[in-house]
């Protein structure tokens, strides 16, 4: 007989560092009902956040035990250290772990520390080490594996993917219902969300698609490529990539691409950094020059590049470089944006695949936090915000029998604006019908316009 319990109240969380990542975390976690205290040496940043969000603030060094004590470390459930200093983050977590015993998460960006992440996590007792640049590089690499997609998200340890595409004028999906798509094109994929004119829909069988719609498609990697081919999208592979800027993001992305057999060229204006990259990435071509110089870009082959990814530290430069590349080449474009305050403007521009490292970091940490508050029987394995957080795709691992198990899906009273996108079982991915059943041990992906789900039981109305 399954046992059910009410959800616990929100966690008490200390966030050390009020930069871009800290601000994004404050916004997301306070919205989800957690008790947040932000710590930073910059009083103006702390004041800005405490006056904007329902959070507490503490001005001071987050690695000081007295400051942590003042902020309430003795009663904290979780500390997240996301300052600009890897060493300060690790020290802060070490002190908090020693004196309070709460769970700790540290941001670590330096490649040397990232290579030691497993050792640091085990020896220092860290719940998680998060690297925004590395996570962004992983997402970019996945996007390059399917060049015609706007975004590619991985679920169930790579068994399933959500791919985001835009329906072009004249495409066979235009004016086609979801039901007709399944019967006339393929039934091995599921369209789980549609964005049209700024509104997000969780579509049913009678929903009619239209050109200009941005759709999220769930399937295996193989079926995704087959679907794109069937609807007339090119499925060619990337053979070479041009990266502008030689920072950490470029290093992580180039390392991944080179391992996959993709030729990489990096343009970086700092000579010392070029020399260092030559040592770290001997198979890459490193050019010492100004990546914003249009004549240099032509000389280095922008017009024939398969992929073009500006990775400077300045959002405006990345946007302008992408727009320029769109005019002079047919390259797959990826644009990295650090700030999240201009989403409407960014969305109005055709920038290819847009990657926000801060949002990726927030999603990974939010996944952990929700897992901490989940009821027994289910755990969150992955979480992605879709369409600027207007929808969520959540992967649950069902570890116990509950109200959602053992019954055909058509008998479950599900919330509105919610779709069960796939069921993973013993290595097989099932696109579910009303007759399918969720079982103990399954992985279940849910797409919904509701927010804050931390338990599989939340799908019930």
Strand-pairing partners, residue 398, are 378
Class of residue 186 by CB neighbours under 10 A (exposed 0-12, middle 13-18, buried 19+): middle
Helices then strands, counting H and E runs in the chain, come out as 15, 22
Q: What's 441's DSSP letter? A: T
> The domain 154-230 belongs to what CATH superfamily?
Regulator of K+ conductance, C-terminal domain (3.30.70.1450)
Contact between 202 and 447 under an 8 Å Cβ cutoff? The reply is yes
Q: Which residue has the tokens 């690297």?
A: 131
Give the pLDDT score at 124. 78
- % the chain with pLDDT above 70: 97
Q: What is the CA radius of gyration of the chain?
A: 23
Confidence of residue 8 (pLDDT cuts 50, 70, 90): very low
Q: Which residue has the higher pLDDT, 120 or 213?
A: 213
- Half-sphere exposure of residue 373: CA atoms within 13 angstroms, side-chain side: 23
Instruction: Supply the pLDDT for residue 378.
Output: 59
User: Given this model, what pLDDT does residue 367 score?
Assistant: 84
Segment 320-342 mean pLDDT: 93
Per-residue confidence (pLDDT) for residue 198, from 0 to 100: 84
Q: Quick one: 12-130 is in which CATH superfamily? A: NAD(P)-binding Rossmann-like Domain (3.40.50.720)
117 has a pLDDT exceeding 80: no
Under CATH, to which class is 377-459 assigned? alpha beta
331 contacts 305 by C-beta, under 8 angstroms: yes
Q: What percent of the chain has pLDDT over 90?
A: 68
C-alpha pair distances (Å), 439 with each of 114, 197, 379, 382: 37, 38, 14, 19
pLDDT value of position 219 = 92
Q: How far is CA 319 from CA 278, 313, 351, in A?
A: 27, 11, 7
Q: How far apart are CA 245 and CA 230, in angstroms?
A: 37
Q: What is the CA 240 to chain-centroid distance, rounded?
A: 24
- Range with lowest mean pLDDT among 263-277, 306-320, 339-353: 339-353
- The pLDDT confidence band at residue 336, using thresholds 50, 70 and 90, is very high
User: Residues 96-125: what's their mean pLDDT?
Assistant: 81
Between 370 and 458, whose confidence is greater?
458
Read off the pLDDT of each residue in 181-191 and give the average, rounded to a whole number: 92
Element (H, E) at 445: strand 443-448
Q: Which residue has the tokens 């474009």?
A: 333
**Of 313, 309, 312, whose CA–CA distance to 322 is shortest?**
309
- Res 210: pLDDT: 95
Structure tokens given for 313: 């530290």
In what helix (H) or strand (E) does residue 139 lie, and over which residues does it extend? helix 132-145
pLDDT at residue 343, rounded to an integer:
77
Domain locations along the chain:
12-130, 154-230, 240-355, 377-459
Same fold, 154-230 and 377-459: yes
Compute the residue count for the chain: 461
Task: Give the pLDDT band (50/70/90) at residue 374.
Answer: low
The mean pLDDT value for 328-351 works out to 88
- Report the run of H or E that residue 86 belongs to, with start and end: helix 86-100
Average of pLDDT values for 217-242?
92
User: Is 64 strand, coil or helix?
Assistant: coil
**pLDDT tens for residues 417-461?**
999 999 999 888 899 989 999 999 999 999 999 988 888 999 998
The rounded mean pLDDT for the chain is 90
What does the pLDDT read at residue 355? 93
Question: For residue 4, what pLDDT is reported?
Answer: 31
d(CA 89, CA 229): 46
The DSSP 8-state label assigned to residue 329 in this structure reads -
Please, are residues 4 and 403 in contact by the beta-carbon 8 Å criterion?
A: yes
Whole-angstrom CA distances from 451 to 32, 54, 270, 384, 391 are 8, 18, 44, 11, 7
Q: Are strands 378-386 and 391-398 parallel, antiparallel or unpaired?
A: antiparallel
Residue pLDDT, tens place only, 62-106 = 999 999 999 999 999 999 999 999 999 999 999 988 888 889 999
Residue 173: per-residue pLDDT? 95
Closest alpha carbon to 394 in 454, 307, 346, 333: 454
pLDDT band at 7 (very low <50, low <70, confident <90, very high): very low
Task: Say whether pLDDT at 3 is over 50.
Answer: no
pLDDT confidence of residue 215: 95
* CATH class name, domain 240-355: alpha beta
CB-based contacts of 356, cutoff 8 Å, min separation 6: 336, 337, 338, 340
Better pLDDT: 157 or 418 = 418
Average pLDDT over residues 6-34: 85
> Is residue 394's pLDDT more than 80?
yes
Give tens-digit pLDDT for 160-179: 899 999 999 999 999 999 99
CB 67 within 8 A of CB 60: yes
Q: What is the pTM of this model?
A: 0.85
- CA dihedral of 404, 408, 412, 414, whole degrees rounded to 10: 90
């Amino acid at each position: 007989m399954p046992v059910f319990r009410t959800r616990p109240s929100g966690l008490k969380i200390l966030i050390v560092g009020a930069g871009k990542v800290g601000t994004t975390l404050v916004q997301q976690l306070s919205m989800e009902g957690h008790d947040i205290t932000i710590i930073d040496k910059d009083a103006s940043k702390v004041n800005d956040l405490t006056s904007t969000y329902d959070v507490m603030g503490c001005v001071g060094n987050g690695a000081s035990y007295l400051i942590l004590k003042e902020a309430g470390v003795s009663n904290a459930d979780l500390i997240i250290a996301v300052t600009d200093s890897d060493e300060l983050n690790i020290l802060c977590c070490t002190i908090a772990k020693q004196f309070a015993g709460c769970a700790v998460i540290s941001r670590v960006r330096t490649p040397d520390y990232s290579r030691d992440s497993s050792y640091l996590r085990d020896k220092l007792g860290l719940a998680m080490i998060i690297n925004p640049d590395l996570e962004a590089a992983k997402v970019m690499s996945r996007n390059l594996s399917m060049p015609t997609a706007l975004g590619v998200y991985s679920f169930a340890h790579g068994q399933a993917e959500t791919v985001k595409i835009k329906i072009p004028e004249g495409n066979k999906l235009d004016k086609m219902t979801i039901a007709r798509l399944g019967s006339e094109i393929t039934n091995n994929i599921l369209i789980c969300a549609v964005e049209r004119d700024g509104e997000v829909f969780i579509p049913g069988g009678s929903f009619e698609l239209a050109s200009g719609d941005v759709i999220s498609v769930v399937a295996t990697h193989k079926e995704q490529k087959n679907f794109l081919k069937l609807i007339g999208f090119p499925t060619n592979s990337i053979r070479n990539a041009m990266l502008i800027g030689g920072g950490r993001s470029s290093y992580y992305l180039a390392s991944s691409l080179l391992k996959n057999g993709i030729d990489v060229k990096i343009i970086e204006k700092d000579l010392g950094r070029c020399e260092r990259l030559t040592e770290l990435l001997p198979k890459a071509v490193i050019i010492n020059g100004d990546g914003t110089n249009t004549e240099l870009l032509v000389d280095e082959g922008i017009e024939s590049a398969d992929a073009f990814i500006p990775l400077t530290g300045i959002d405006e430069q990345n946007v302008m470089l992408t727009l320029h590349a769109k005019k002079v080449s047919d390259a797959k474009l990826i644009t990295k944006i650090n700030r999240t305050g201009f989403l409407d403007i960014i969305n109005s521009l055709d920038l290819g695949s847009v990657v926000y490292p801060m949002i990726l970091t927030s999603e990974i940490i939010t996944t952990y936090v929700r897992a901490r508050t989940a009821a027994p029987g289910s755990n969150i394995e992955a979480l992605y915000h879709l369409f600027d957080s207007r929808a969520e795709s959540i992967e649950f691992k069902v570890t116990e029998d509950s109200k959602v198990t053992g019954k055909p899906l058509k008998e479950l009273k599900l919330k509105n604006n919610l779709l069960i996108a796939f069921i993973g079982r013993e290595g097989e991915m099932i696109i579910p019908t009303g007759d399918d059943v969720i079982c103990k041990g399954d992985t279940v992906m849910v797409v919904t316009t509701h927010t804050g789900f931390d338990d599989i039981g939340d799908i019930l109305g």
